[in-house]
Amino acid sequence: MISVAHSLVAVSIAAKIPNPIIAFPLSFFSNYLLDMIPHWDFGYGWRAKSKKRLFLEGASDVAVSYILVFLIWQKFLPHISLVYLLANAFLSQLPDWLELPYVLFNVKVQPFVFFYQIQHLIHRKLALPWGIVTQIVTVLPLLYFALH
């Protein structure tokens, strides 16, 4: 899933679970659960993309995800610590970040190989537009529930 989807689910978790001992691991492992749902992300076809393009697409996705976390915090969740929301968002993306050295720089040492192999096993890819539709159908109801 795109980083935006991971972050929005993490915000939903943080909004409903104020205890970081519970919310942090849930946000981290939500990455793997979400990636089992067929989806499209910027890593789709990563071997055919230049490293620069892959990095810029991913960085843009991450930037948008944190901007959305900030906007949601301002509008709907000002009573929750922004740091707490951002920490959950970061943890929800961390599994993807841990495979980046393998994907971007061909670093084939542990733990990067391990994280790449897990992601490779569980990822369920789906081309556009349906790969975005599955994310919308999954994430928006969770976010709605969390904010109301």
How confident is the model at residue 103, as a pLDDT? 85
pTM: 0.94
How confident is the model at residue 42, as a pLDDT? 82
Could you give the number of structural domains in the chain?
Answer: 1
Q: Which domain holds residue 53?
A: 3-147
pLDDT tens for the chain, 148 residues: list them: 999 999 999 999 999 999 999 999 999 999 999 999 999 988 777 778 888 888 899 999 999 999 999 999 999 999 999 999 999 999 999 999 999 899 888 999 999 999 999 998 999 999 999 999 999 999 999 999 999 8
CA neighbor of 11 nearest in space, from 64, 60, 84: 84
Contacts of 145 (CB under 8 A, 6+ apart): 12, 16
Q: What is the pLDDT of residues 106-138, one digit of tens each?
A: 999 999 999 999 998 999 999 999 999 999 999
**Do residues 131 and 38 touch, judged by C-beta distance below 8 A?**
yes
